[in-house]
Amino acid sequence: MPVDLSADERWRATLVQRAHDSLVASVEQMRRVLKLSRGTDAILEEIKQTMHTQVRGQRGAFVWIETEGSVQKAIAQLPKLFGRQSPGPGIEDLNRSEATVLQVLYERERATAFNQTDDKPPPYFVEAIQDFMIAHDGRTPARKVRKTARNAWRENPGADRRVREMERQPAAKFRSRYRGRPEKYDPGIVWAFADAITRAAGREHFSIGHHGDEAITDKNQKGGPMLRVLVASIRWAMTNAWFEASLSGTEPPKVKPEGVLTVIKRGR
């Protein structure tokens, strides 16, 4: 039987299909320009398998323990808030394995949806944060408690990434996990796709082309074919994650070639 889709579902499905069609077109262009004997379907399969590649340093956002409701989340966040290396007694890290590209992208979309619908922490969550802060620092201003609770309650993949970086640094290097904005294009994900494209093209190194920053515009036909496939791959992957995890009516992610190119130029 045909499935009766809502207008929003049809719109979202259409955008996913467009992203896929754009990826196919960019792969076919790369085959022509680089004179590749490997078929389009085989190259597409290599690229799509990247969704299951583990991203170095990416793990689940939370450490969970067997307690009730959102107090569980509050307690799990506390060691990260205060720069602790160890989560402490009674807390078990259930997210030791590195997340895949699909999981990282899905988590980001889910975090955005969560922040749009459940932005204010409940009282019992604030109380859990307050109890810990008092035990840790003594008497603590209510304003500081509310700010800390709000930061802990909100999903923030960028802050989680900064925590992982800080945990590898000396204690003196600790600073607020909430400074700065999260990068739009995770370097690990960009390089995972770049590596897949490099293998699919039978090359030793990823190439952005020989036209410098002229390669960054969609309309400029001088752009390197591998870079064009990379941009289309990132757009396809992010659009699929958006389709699965975002709220109804939200706009799809916009992937700009210059942003992807910046990640590649910075290197690993």
Q: Is 68 exposed, middle or buried (0-12, 13-18, 19+ CB in 10 A)?
A: exposed
Flag whether 2 is in a domain: no
Residue 219 — very low, low, confident or very high, per pLDDT cuts 50/70/90?
low
Flag whether 64 is in a domain: no
pLDDT > 60? residue 150: yes
- 73 with 154, same domain: the answer is yes
- Domain's final residue, options 154, 173, 192: 173
- 162 with 116, same domain: the answer is yes
Q: What share of the chain has pLDDT > 90, as a percent?
A: 28
- Identify residue 243 by its one-letter amino acid code: F
**Residue-level pLDDT at 170:** 66
Flag whether 61 is in a domain: no
Residue owning tokens 């925590």: 163
191/140: higher pLDDT: 191
How far is residue 51's CA from residue 49's CA, in Å, rounded to a whole number? Answer: 5
Q: Which of 119-133, 168-182, 217-231 has the lowest mean pLDDT?
A: 168-182
**Residue-level pLDDT at 152:** 79
pLDDT > 70? residue 27: yes
- 166 with 87, same domain: the answer is yes
Residue 150 structural domain: 69-173
**Residue-level pLDDT at 133:** 87
Backbone torsions φ then ψ of 230, nearest 5 degrees = -60, -45
pLDDT > 70? residue 51: yes
Flag whether 178 is in a domain: no
Find the mean pLDDT for residues 26-32. 94
- 39 with 99, same domain: the answer is no
**Residue-level pLDDT at 1:** 47
**Residue-level pLDDT at 183:** 66
- Domain's final residue, options 153, 173, 193: 173
pLDDT > 50? residue 250: yes
- 108 with 203, same domain: the answer is no
- Domain's final residue, options 139, 173, 207: 173
CA distance readout (Å), 208 to 35, 139, 155, 218:
17, 56, 34, 13
How far is residue 38's CA from residue 43's CA, in Å, rounded to a whole number? Answer: 7
pLDDT > 50? residue 68: no
Residue 104 — very low, low, confident or very high, per pLDDT cuts 50/70/90?
confident
**Residue-level pLDDT at 175:** 55
**Residue-level pLDDT at 97:** 61
Flag whether 131 is in a domain: yes
CB under 8 A, 24+ apart: contacts of 18-27: 19/232, 19/235, 19/236, 19/239, 19/240, 20/236, 22/232, 22/235, 22/236, 23/47, 23/229, 23/232, 23/233, 23/235, 23/236, 25/232, 26/225, 26/228, 26/229, 26/231, 26/232, 27/229, 27/232
- 78 with 166, same domain: the answer is yes
pLDDT > 50? residue 87: no
Flag whether 17 is in a domain: yes
Flag whether 196 is in a domain: yes
Residue 23 and residue 236 in contact, taking contact as beta carbons nearer than 8 Å: yes
Residue 84 — very low, low, confident or very high, per pLDDT cuts 50/70/90?
very low
**Residue-level pLDDT at 2:** 52
- 160 with 99, same domain: the answer is yes
How far is residue 50's CA from residue 199's CA, in Å, rounded to a whole number? Answer: 11
- 167 with 96, same domain: the answer is yes
**Residue-level pLDDT at 6:** 79
Give the total number of structural domains in the chain. 2
Residue 91 — very low, low, confident or very high, per pLDDT cuts 50/70/90?
very low
Find the mean pLDDT for residues 181-191. 81
What's the pTM value of the predicted model, to 2 decimals? 0.69
Flag whether 99 is in a domain: yes
Angle between helices 7-34 and 40-48 (to 10 degrees): 120
